[in-house]
Each structure stands twice: as structure tokens, then as C-alpha cells.
Amino acid sequence: MTTPFFLPDLGEGVHEAEILAVPIIVGQDIVEGDIILEIETDKAAVEIPSPFTGTVSEILVQVDDMSVVGDVLVQFSMESTSTKSTQVEKTDKRKRVVPASPSTRRLARELGVDLHEIVPSAPGAVITKDDIQTFAADHSKATEPLEPEQKKSTPERKIAIPTTLPDFNQWGPTERLPFRSIRRATAARMSRSWTMIPHVHCQDVVDITLLEAFRQKHKDAVQSTGGRLTLTVFALKAVATALKNFPHFNSSLDLENQEIIVKQYFHIGVAVDSPKGLTVPVIFDVDRKSIKELSQEVHGAIQRVRAGKQTREEMQGGTFTITNAGALGGNTFSAIINHPEVAILGLGQGRMQATVVSEDRGRQEHKIVPRLIMPIVLCFDHRVVDGGDAIRFLRTIIDSLEDPDELLMTMI
């Protein structure tokens, strides 16, 4: 008997994946739980365990292929399953390895659900959070496997292009590069966000002269602990304070139920320029962590992303995003909101500028002095927040960044 293994539903809105590695060969005996594929989604690289004990009879994918949920990846021959393995399955069901992600296992523990009792919602699939929640709600039978006609609803492999491109080779040599993995997923997310969300941009500048002096004073001590004291670290704390004062910026819009979901936690994403494209690891509970702790976490997250070792868990759950183009020399720019969030903060490069400042001597006097000035932009969803609150939200961040003492005093 031949049994197909489908690309499982990986949850969290993931519909497709790139095949990174195929560590199996035709004819190889596989025990349930053995790693049979390594894939990469727009979230992270994931190892896929086999839900079967049997022999690989056919491999239908190769490295660099793109597959969507429901595609058959491997065929197993179950007839050659060893007697010993069969006795194990029949006599001790609870010893079998259950294919599920760490976050799914955590949900199962929280709900008191035994993963061994759950049948995944698609043939060959890992168990998902939806499977857990369905089982916990009514203990009914698992969802039936997808029928061929149901698979037609699977997202299309190609992003629709409105017009036919000309033959560019008529003007000179060209090269075609695959549009896949993180680059492809980023394009889909950005298109969806720009189409769905009415973006409004609120721009200003920040005098970070004092903050830079503070950073220079403490950066070596922080670096000795394994962290990097960057401007992004201070921005994380300033944003967390602003989010607590203006909670609508820490929300998502649920159009289906006509509700605004305001989160009571503060998990802030940091956009990272990686070799594979823009990636946004999430720093959790920013409001509860010190500057030193954040400097270590941000540095660690950036290192993992650039090495391609980030996990799916650290790429999920963000409530707000910060993107710092200043590290690359970028100045003023507009950012696209990371849906389903409702706002994103963009930071440009701080540059010395001649600045007019007032002197407090009882009368209005001004002078021109060199100051380190950084452009800052807040992009927000006008369906959820209005311009007045956006200006006040941005002003809270600016006030915190312009005065390190104010930043420390407003950490709530």
C-alpha cells in the first residue's frame, strides 16, 4: 500500500514553502518521527518529521522547489513496515512521536490536551493549533482530509501580474532569478498591506545629541556583556512607553467581527536587513526588560536572522514594528505597515546639522549650534487611529529620545 505525504498546514497563515533539503532517498526505511524534509517559509526554516513508519517509494520534490499546502511531497510504501515497528504502534500508542511545532505543543499543554489523541486535519500533516482548539472545544472527530475539489482553494503559486512584460532580451542580455522564499513572501505581505490599509505618514525630527553621548558612554560596558547598545534599543523602550499611553497603536483591526483588538502585551518587531531579504524578529515583553537586556536580545536576534537560524516562534506575535534605515545611511523615508499591526516607526540616520536653539535667560534669545538630528516617521492605519493621536504618540517618543533622563523616568 502506498501512502502520500502532503506538505502540512504549518499554521500562522503559512501557505507555501521552499524545499531546502531532502535528507532521504528512495528505498530508505523511515521510522515515524525521522526528519524527512527541511523547508523554509516566510517565517523560518523548519524540519518536517515523518508521521509514518515505512519505506520511501518516491520523492516528488527536489531542493529549491516551491510547494503549497496540500502538495504531495513523498510517497511511502507501508507494506514493508517492520513487524517490530507495527507491534510498537499497536501496543504503546503513546510512545509514537507526534509531529507538532513547539508553539502547538505549548498550547496543548495549556489546554490539557493529549497530542496522541488528535488526528491532524490533513493527510500527512503536523498537528496545528486549530486541531488542538477544535479537539479541546468539543472532542469531536478530526476534520476530514482535504478532497481534491477543496484543494482548489489553496493560494495560487504565482503572484498575478497585471500586464505582459516585453522581451527584454531584444535590448541586451538578461538574467532570470527565482522569486521565492522570503522575497516572495515579503512581496505578498507588502501588497496586501498597501492595498488593505489606508496609510498615513507623520514625520518629524529628533535631536539625539544627548542620547548619543549617553550611548557612547555606556556602549563598551554593554558590549562586554554580549549586547550592542544601538539606537534601536532606546527606540524600543520609547515605543513601549508610548504604546502604553496610546493603546490603539498596539492593536489590530478585526473587520470580520467589526472589532479593534487591543493587546495587553508589548512585543515589538525589529526589521532586519538579511541576505535573504527583510526579516522581522520579535522582541517580547519590551516593557518588562532593561536597556541592557534588550541590547542583548536585539543583537542575538539580528545574529540569528543573518545566519538563517531564527525560529518560527520568534517571528510571530508582534504588536508593533520598528525599522531603522539609519544604520545603512538612509534618511527620510516612508514605511509600510506590517499587517495585521496598525503602525510602524521608521528611523533615519542621525546627522550633524546647524540648529537654532533658545537660551533660557529670562528673555527670548536664540543661537545656532551643531546638533545631531535624526528624521523619524510614524506610519499608521487611519481606520484605527486619527492624526491627533498620531502626533501625540510620536511626540511621546521624541521627548523620550531627546532626553535620556526622560526616557528612564517614563519607563512604565
Residue 155 contacts by C-beta under 8 Å, 6 or more apart in sequence? 15, 16, 68
Q: Pairing mode, if any, of strands 72-77 and 54-59?
A: antiparallel
Which three-class secondary structure state does DSSP give residue 360? Answer: strand
Pairwise CA distance, residues 193 & 208, whole Å: 31
- For residue 185, which phi and psi values (nearest 5 degrees)? -65, -40
Catalytic residue among 218, 248, 366, 382: 382
- Amino acid sitting at position 31: V
Name which of 314, 277, 312, 304 is nearest 47 in CA terms.
Answer: 312
The answer to whether 260 touches 231, Cβ cutoff 8 Å, is: no
3 exposed, middle or buried (CB, 10 Å; 0-12, 13-18, 19+)?
A: middle
The answer to whether 263 touches 301, Cβ cutoff 8 Å, is: no
Pairwise CA distance, residues 127 & 119, whole Å: 7
Annotated catalytic residue 15: no
Which residue do the cell numbers 518521527 mark?
33
- Amino acid sitting at position 180: R
Q: How far is CA 197 from CA 36, 147, 182, 342, 344, in A?
A: 40, 34, 22, 8, 12
> Angle at Cα 299 formed by Cα 293 and Cα 300, nearest 5°?
90
**Which helix (H) or strand (E) segment is 139 a member of?**
none
Alpha carbon 356 to its chain centroid, in Å, reads 41
Q: How far is CA 151 from CA 17, 41, 122, 185, 202, in A?
A: 16, 19, 11, 20, 43
Instruction: State the catalytic residues.
Output: 382
